[in-house]
Amino acid sequence: MDILAYNEARLLRNHFQLIYGSAEAADFVFSDSVTGASLQTWLQTPANLTAFTQLTQTFLGPQALVGNTTTFAAVVASPAAMTAVAASSTAMAAVVVSAPAMRAVATSPTALAVVAANPIAMAAFSQSLALPVVRVPAMTSATAPSGVASASTTINTSQDPWRAFDRASSSTWMSAINSVTNQWLQYVFPIPVFIHSVDISGYDGPAGATRSVRDCSIQCSDDGSAWKTIISATLPASTNGAELRRIGFSEIAKHRYWRIFIANNHGDASIVGISEANFVGFDV
C-alpha cells in the first residue's frame, strides 16, 4: 500500500476485516507480487469474488485499488476484477479522475474490452477529463486545420465530406445521388491515435428520418488500404433533427485512418447523409 497514509491503511484493513472476515486478504491484493494472473485465480473462489465486488462498492476500496500502481496493473489484467470495477459506479468514479488509472485501462486489451461491454462504464470512461482528449478538429476545408476528410462519393461541393466535421449541425455531408449503400466517411489524423468512440449525427432536415445512417461499421487502417472492422451498429432514424449517437468500442491500437462505413440508410433511395461526425479518444 505504497501511497496510503497510515490512517487510510488502517481503515482499509478494517474494511477487509469486515468484508472478508480477515485482513489477510489485503496483504494479498495489495502485495508487491500480485499479478493479473494470480488475482484472476484468487477471484475464482466465489467468496473472494463476492468480497472483492463489495470492496469496489465502498469509498475507500476503489481509492486504494486505483492508488496502488502494482495492484491496479493486476486489476486491469484480470477479467473478473475488471468486471467488478466496471460494474461499480463508485469504482469507475475513482478510475476516471486518475490519469494513471485511465492510461492503464486504455492500454489494456482486457480492461478496455470489459469497459466497452458495459454501457454505463463506457460512458464514464469516454467522458473522463483525466487524459488529454483527441478528436477531429473543427474542419474548415478538406485539409484544414489538420488531417484529411474524405468520402466515397459527394453530391456537390456544398456537401463536401469535411462539412460533417465542421461542428455545425446546419451543414451536412451527402453522398452522390443513388449512392446509399456501401458508402464511407473518413478522417485521416496526422499521426496514429487511440480512439474509443465515434459520434454520428443523422441527416438534419425533413428527410432525416429516411436519409440518416442505419447499418454501419467503424473501421480503422494504418495505410488506407487494409481496413479492420472494429464494431458494427444499427442506428435509429433521426426523428428530431441531427440527433447525436455515440458508438463506443475497444480498439487498443493507434491508427491514422478512421472511417464510418455505411451499409445503408433508413429507406431513402437517393441519398445518405451525416450532419456531424467525430472520432474521439485520448492521448495515451
3-state per-residue secondary structure call for the chain: CCCCCHHHHHHHHHHHHHHHCCCHHHHHHCCCCCCHHHHHHHCCCHHHHHHHHHHHCCCHHHHHHHHCHHHHHHHHCCHHHHHHHHHCHHHHHHHCCCHHHHHHHHCCHHHHHHHHCCHHHHHHHHCCCCCCEEECCCCCCCCCCCCEEEECCCCCHHHCHHHHHCCCCCCCEECCCCCCCCEEEEEEEEEEEEEEEEEEEECCCCCHHHHCECEEEEEEECCCCCEEEEEEEECCCCCCCCCEEEEECCCCCCEEEEEEEECCECCCCCCCEEEEEEEEEECC
The last residue of a domain, from among 94, 126, 158 = 126
The reported pLDDT for the residue numbered 9 is: 53
What pLDDT score was predicted for residue 102? 98
Q: For the whole model, what pTM was predicted?
A: 0.87
Q: Are residues 153 and 97 in the same domain?
A: no
Does residue 114 sit in the same domain as residue 198?
Answer: no
Whether 160 is in a domain gets the answer: yes
pLDDT at 147 over 60: yes
Which pLDDT band, with edges at 50, 70 and 90, does 8 fall under? low
CATH code for the domain of 176: 2.60.120.260
> What value does the mean pLDDT take over residues 26-39?
89
pLDDT on residue 145: 98
